[in-house]
Structure formats: structure tokens, C-alpha cells
Amino acid sequence: MDVLKTTLSNGLNVLLKEIHTTPIISHWLWVRVGSRDEGSGLTGASHWVEHMQFKGTPQFPAGRLDKDISRDGGFWNAMTYIDWTAYFATMPADKIDLPMRLEADRLVNSNFDAQEVDSERTVIISERQGNENNPMFLLDEDVQQAAFDKHPYKHEVIGYTADLKSMSRDDLYHHYKRFYVPNNAVLAAAGDFDAQVMLERIRELYEAIPAGPAPARVAAEEPAPVEERRVVTKGPGETIFVKAAYRSVRATDPDFFALTVADSLLAGPSNLNMFSGGISNKTSRLYRHLVDRDLAVGVNGGLQATIDPFVYDITIVVHPERKAEEAVAALDEEIARLQDKPPKVEELTRAVKQAQALFAYGSESITNQAFWLGFAEVFDRYAWFETYLAQLAAVTPADVQRAAQTYLRPQRRVLGVYQPDGRPAGDE
């Protein structure tokens, strides 16, 4: 089915896809703001603003919005990432007007009541403390911090505790006003509607909102990595985790797809679906070399489609009777194998077939299809998504070998180890 793509006079990008299999519509509003837009002292601002978007506007007071959506049988949520913030609602088709009116309204009219800001401050600090209970969050945060010198990708989306304690209502409101303008947003909807009728309604709701100045971005060109960095995170527990984070490429880089195939061979296929599960990775090269040989009990890879070069990471849960160094040595052997010898064509064919299957699963969900529409538009264009399978299929064994040689060198990585400090758990 074709996608209707247009841009309103105020710069709002609109993508609409009719799907008439079930009477459901999923509506997404994406704002091009994330932790990459946060300077010193403002880490976590984008995520906090997202929370404040649920605290009401003069037209839709706090507490009413969620009840109205729930009453109509819909579900809605929001998420903040390093590059974007997204708000979605999936509703019975005849009830979609409410979230449409709401999204248009809170794009510019949110209250940011000072008391609500303070109440949300403790909620977000609590969210961060919940994350800190997890050893992987502690390791991720240290590795990410070491992976960048200047770029705001160096901090976690949730932000530093010190900033969460000190940020003011006005800091947040200015962040909101700077980035929440129609020319910095993408509206994507999929489901049981007539695209022209839907577009008319979008025009009614949005065209009166004036465009704002193009938001200035944090100017931080990250220098190329020159040597391996190592970090050790200490904390409670018994389990050792290893995380190797290699400086990656932006999603629009021609090498992104070769690196995607390299990831698939090494650690199993990445799942681009947000609302549909992936598949196991037990025949991947790293699983066979680490888990089958009792050096690890689990291994995973993660390559993200991002605006600026982020990291490709490999996470290893070390076997209880092994050391981190043994797992790292095995990781290096397997990466060297891919660098030394191109993979077989059959391995690439398999990676493409896996990606095709994941696409088929993802297309079952209308929410997931609407997610796809907007997601690629934020870091590139929807065409990135439409050509994804063809781009993967065009990757050659030599491309994969070259990507491994270029991007998976130790000089480009941070090697992090979560080292349990041996404190006993349980009642003391």
C-alpha cells in the first residue's frame, strides 16, 4: 500500500498509510529532540519534558487525558531516545480524533506547572534509581561516558542525578519551546482511515500552529577514536558482564548495511520491530564461540540507526566459572576471523531471509507499521525503511569483511567490565 507523504506549510512532515484489515488506527507524533540536544547541566531534559507532556494543557487538564484515552479503549505512551521523542496512541478507528486533538494541542500548549515539575522530579529520580539497581545500567552508563569526549551521546537519556536535582521549571520549558515546533516534528499514522480525509483533519489541527526557528543543535563534532579505552564498573552481585562498544556509523552511511550484516553474523539478527519479538541467536558466530564453549552464558549485539555515529555494542554475560579476559579473548578471535576472511554467500543469504521474516512479523501490528513510518523519517527518510531489505541484499561478503576491518578495530572501542565487588546479597 502506498504511503501519502506531504509537508504542511508550517513544516510538519506527514506520512499516512491506509491499512484496512482491522478497525484500528495508530497515530504517532515524533519530535526531533533527544539526549543529543542536551548541553551541560541539562542532561535528561528531553526525557523530563516528555513526562511533562502528560501533565496537561489548559484545554486538556492533567489527569483527564489518560482517562479519556483509556475510556475509549486505546493505549498510549511515549518514549525518549538519544535522537528523538515519540508519542503514540493506538485506538479503535472511530475514536482517533481525541489523541489527534491532544497531540496537536500539547505540541505547543503544555502547562509546565511548577508544582507538577517538582512532583515529577522525584518520579524521574526514582526512575533513575530503579535503573541503578540493574548492573547493566551501571556498566552501560560508564561505557557510554567513555565512548565520547564531546558529543552529548556520552550521557544516558535519563540524565545525571545532579542535573535532575538542579534543573528548573524554566530550563525545561525553554527546552520544550525550542524543540516543540511543527517544523521539527513528524506525524505518522497507519490504519483504517481514508488518507485524504485524515490529511484534511491534520491540516485543521496543525496548520494554524506557526513554524518556529529551526532549533539550534549542540555543536559537538566528536573526534575519531584513536585508542582503545577500558573501564571497570564495580558493584554488587556475582555475575561478570562485558560490554564492547565500537564507534559506529550514522544510519545514512553507506556502510550501515554492511555493518548490519556483520552484526547479524556475529550476534544474530537485529529486530527493527518495536512491537514484535525477535528470533534467537544460538547459531550466531559469537554464541557458538563463547556460549557453546562455556566462556559465556549469553551474548548479544546491538546496532542502532542514529543521526550521528553512535556505538555498536556487544554484551557478554560471562560464565560463572570464567574470567572477563577469557571472554574478551574469544570475542577478539571471532572478530579477527571475520576481518581475515570474507563470510560465505550463504551466510548473507540467511541474514536477508531472517530480516524478511522479521518484517513479516512486524507488519502484523498496525502500531508497529505506524512506528516504522515515522522512525526512519527522523534520522533519514521513510525510503530508508522501504529499501532496507534491498540494501541488505546488496551487501557482498567483501563489504562485510571491510566493515569488520574498518569499524571493529580495538582502537575504536571502549571495553567495559562489570566486576562484582563480592558483597554478599540477601539478609545481612
Partner 1 sequence: MKSNAALSLSSIPGADDITRVELANGIVVLARENANSLSVTLRGYLPAGSLFDPDDKLGLADFVADALMRGTAKRQFQAIYDSLESIGASFGFSSGTHTAGFGGKSLTEDLPLMLDILNEGLRAPSFPSDQVEKLRAQLLTGLALRVQDTRDMASLHFDELVYRGHPYARPEDGNPETIGAITIDDLRGFHRKTYGPRGMVVSIVGGINAFTAVEQVRATLEDWTNPEQPASPELPAWEALPERVYKRHDIAGKSQSDLIVGTAGPPRLAPDFMAANLGNNILGRFGLMGRVGDSVREKAGLAYYAYSSLAGGTGPGAWEVAAGVNPANEQKAIDLIFEELRRFTSELVSEEELSDSKSNFIGSMPLSLESNGGVAEALLNIERYQLGMDFYRHFPGLVQSVTQEEIRAAAAKYLPVDKLAVSVAGPRRAGA
Let me know: does 15 contact 199? Beta carbons within 8 Å: no
- Return the residue of 111, 276, 300, 419 that touches partner 1, per CB under 8 A: 276
Ranges within 329-358 binding partner 1 (CB under 8 A)? 350, 353-358
CA angle 211, 108, 128 (to 5 degrees): 120
Binding piece for partner 1, criterion CB under 8 A, among 22-30, 36-44, 149-157, 373-381? 22-30
Q: How far is the CB of 339 from partner 1 (least distance, A)?
A: 23
Q: How far is the CB of 403 from partner 1 (least distance, A)?
A: 21
Hey, what amino acid is at 305?
A
Instruction: Decide: is 267 part of the binding site for partner 1 (CB under 8 A).
Output: no
Q: How far is the CB of 15 from partner 1 (least distance, A)?
A: 17
Ranges within 187-206 binding partner 1 (CB under 8 A)? 192-194, 197-198, 201
Nearer to partner 1, 132 or 222 (CB): 132
How far out from the chain centre does Cα 2 lie?
A: 26
Give the DSSP letter string of 211-273: P-PPPPPP--PPPPP-S-EEEEEEESSS--EEEEEEE---TTSTTHHHHHHHHHHHH------
Instruction: Decide: is 95 part of the binding site for partner 1 (CB under 8 A).
Output: yes
Instruction: Decide: is 25 part of the binding site for partner 1 (CB under 8 A).
Output: yes
Instruction: Decide: is 92 part of the binding site for partner 1 (CB under 8 A).
Output: yes
Instruction: Decide: is 3 part of the binding site for partner 1 (CB under 8 A).
Output: no
Instruction: Decide: is 393 part of the binding site for partner 1 (CB under 8 A).
Output: no
Instruction: Decide: is 220 part of the binding site for partner 1 (CB under 8 A).
Output: no
Nearer to partner 1, 75 or 394 (CB): 75
Residues contacting residue 35 through CB under 8 Å, at least 6 positions apart: 43, 44, 46, 47, 80, 81, 82, 152, 153, 155, 156, 157, 159
Q: How far is the CB of 310 from partner 1 (least distance, A)?
A: 25
The pair phi, psi for residue 390, each rounded to 5°, is -65, -40
Ranges within 100-129 binding partner 1 (CB under 8 A)? 100, 118-129
Instruction: Decide: is 277 part of the binding site for partner 1 (CB under 8 A).
Output: yes
Q: How many CA atoms lie within 13 A of 388 on its CB side?
A: 24
Instruction: Decide: is 427 part of the binding site for partner 1 (CB under 8 A).
Output: yes
Q: How far is the CB of 308 from partner 1 (least distance, A)?
A: 29
125 burial (CB, 10 Å; 0-12 / 13-18 / 19+) is middle
Q: How far is the CB of 92 from partner 1 (least distance, A)?
A: 6
126 burial (CB, 10 Å; 0-12 / 13-18 / 19+) is exposed
